[in-house]
Amino acid sequence: MSQYGLKQAPRAWNERFTRFLLTLGFQSSYADPSLYVKHDGQSVVVLLLYVDDIILSGDDETKVQAVIHQLTSEFDMKDLGLLHYFLGLQIEYQTHGLFVHQSKYVSDLLKKTNMLDNKPYTTPCHPNHKLLNHGSPPFLDSGLYRSIVGSLQYLTFTRPDIAYSVNQVCQFMHSPLESHFVAVKRILQYLRGSMSLGLCFKPGLLDIKAYTDADWAGDPNDRRSTTGFVVFLGCNPISWSSKKQHTVSRSSTEAEYRAMATTTAEVVWLQQLLQDLHLPCPDIPLLHCDNISAMALATNPVLRSKAKHIEIDCHFVRERVQQGYIMLQFVNSADQHADIFTKGLCFPLFSSHCTNLMLGSTSHKIEGEC
């Protein structure tokens, strides 16, 4: 069956491939429709499908090879062996874990933008600097701006250190100014000096720890707040986000609580994903927050009249806490790992958070943990 040419070809291929997987005993994940899991006794085989690129793994090599044989007998495909490169992500195998990075992707991007010889910066943006939607001439080549920023968005898959800066420049895709392109070049110059950075993944416990933070009314253009969170599985960061909130918050408590609700939804999704993979969590997930008022709102059954406009978020988080699906824990602002996703930081603090996010070499370790 041809995969390319007709618009419906990819859909037809996916339906054909999915039907065959179901005959082999695979089940589609509720959390991720591109993930298929085959649970056979004590063993698990996992297949991840992206168009015609496939990752296959499991805890029983014999059963993994059996699935490969069944797939190659039904479809015209080739086994490329151990995973080293997938959709721009490079995977290196170390004695104590995996090192995932996008060094080649960064190098190609810098070549494309003629930034390989520019002076590198130690941070992707100025500390506490905010981009404005006025005060600078329009950037004439908006197509170039969107192309570079789109490439930077894809890079955040393995580079949480640039998530906040990329989120900032993404907000001006429709009408960028010259000052916005200067901010984009700053990110590229930071990447010039940190091309080899990547994420270290180490085996360990499957406990979930999440950090949530918000920069209240931090956007000077519309006074919306920025939500930032990072979720760890053991010592490994597996999910993070820096995103402007959809509505204006009238207090820091409200901004923090909206961020808490977003993080809780992500934790619930990850719990479902682990359940689909037949990997039970040993402990109740911990959600770390540095706002005492937001934590009180999540545990207090009495909804204050001044907080009724965030009633849905209140009930969502509170129900998860009461049902024992998540546990709240206060964390000092100095130990708030999500701080890097809500604002620009000076180099010492930025570097410390990068270490806590397991960025760099495989010797990195979260301070005081693991």
User: 308: domain CATH number?
Assistant: 3.30.420.10
Tokens of 129: 């600097």
Does 65 reside within a domain?
yes
Cβ–Cβ < 8 Å for 231, 326:
no
Better-predicted residue by pLDDT, 210 or 355? 210
To the question of pTM greater than 0.85 for the whole model, the response is yes
For 195, residues 6+ apart whose C-beta sits below 8 A from its C-beta are 103, 106, 107, 110
Number of folded domains in the chain?
3
For 133, residues 6+ apart whose C-beta sits below 8 A from its C-beta are 172, 177, 221
User: Beta strands 327-330 and 286-289: pairing type?
Assistant: parallel
> By three-state DSSP, how is residue 321 classified?
helix
**Model confidence over 166-194: pLDDT tens digits?**
999 999 999 999 999 999 999 999 999 99
Torsion of CA 103, 106, 112, 114, to 10 degrees: -100
Average pLDDT, the chain: 88
Report the range out of 58-62, 208-212, 321-325 with the highest average pLDDT: 208-212
Which amino acid, 302? V
Domain closes at, from 192, 221, 241: 192
User: Beta strands 198-201 and 236-244: pairing type?
Assistant: unpaired
Does 361 reside within a domain?
no
Whether 323 and 211 map to the same domain: the answer is yes
d(CA 366, CA 232): 11
pLDDT of 47 reads 95
Does 308 reside within a domain?
yes
Banded model confidence at residue 302, pLDDT cuts 50, 70, 90: low
Domain closes at, from 81, 116, 143: 81
pLDDT of 312 reads 67
pLDDT of 124 reads 96
Cβ–Cβ < 8 Å for 361, 103:
no
Does 197 reside within a domain?
no
> By three-state DSSP, how is residue 152 classified?
helix
Does 369 reside within a domain?
no
Whether 38 and 112 map to the same domain: the answer is no
Average pLDDT over residues 216-227: 92
The domain in which residue 291 lies consists of 204-356
Does 303 reside within a domain?
yes
Query: Which H/E stretch holds residue 214?
Result: strand 208-215
Whether 214 and 306 map to the same domain: the answer is yes
Whether 339 and 266 map to the same domain: the answer is yes
Whether 185 and 208 map to the same domain: the answer is no
